[in-house]
Copies of this chain bind each other. A is one copy, B any other.
Amino acid sequence: MYLRALTGLAEGGTTTCSSEELAASAGVNSAKLRKDLSYLGSYGTRGVGYDVEYLRYQIAREIGVTQDWPVVIVGIGNLGHALANYSGFRSRGFRVVALLDADPDRHDEVVAGLDVRSFEDLESIVTEDAVAIGVIATPAVAAQSVADRMVAAGITSILNFAPTVLTVPEGVDVRKVDLSIELQILAYHEQRKSGLPTAEVTA
């Protein structure tokens, strides 16, 4: 988040900023920001603030996005198309190297300049391009088997969009994005707002 806020500030022409300003851009408390940055080192100057470009580089280096990370996307349906076409990944240090789908009818397609290839090509692509990160955008029933194949092929980080709990060996990281749950959380608060105006006092 700080990285993005810094990029925004840099584009706006700011060269130096205080923890207060940066925290506001990132939408967090300034004390939290300073503590977070302190874990990386002491990159600010007391009485002055942080050099935007310098701090940006330091955070990028710490996260590991100074190099480009190759990524494969599996499941080129509605969501897979959107992800493949998204330019924001490229500019943030990620490069989509392959789009895979189990459906042969999809293999004629070209999406975002890349051929949609057979899922059977997974192993060779992962090996050749040293891919460590895989994205799963298949239906939920297929997600676990896709994850298993990914892990067997050598992928050690998975971003999962399918609404399922994935089981993976130790050493493999999984993060999930679950849009329905996000909406459910909003609905819950919405219900409380309209439903019980006096409930907050009681509870």
The chain A residues found within 8 Å of chain B, CB to CB, are 1, 3-5, 25-27, 62-65, 69, 71, 78-79, 81-83, 85-86, 88-89, 92-94, 132-133, 156-159, 163, 165, 171, 173, 175, 177, 179-191, 193-195
Neighbouring B residues of A3 by C-beta, 8 Å:
184
Q: Are A165 and B78 in contact (CB under 8 A)?
A: no
CA distance A135 to B32 in the complex (A): 29
A135: nearest chain-B partner, CB-CB: B183
The residue on B at minimum CB distance from A63 is B188
Residue of B5, B25, B71 near A183 (CB, 8 A) is B71
List 13 additional A-B contacts (Cβ < 8 Å) besides A88-B180, A92-B183: A1-B181, A62-B188, A64-B187, A78-B85, A88-B179, A89-B183, A133-B186, A156-B193, A157-B189, A158-B186, A171-B193, A175-B186, A177-B179
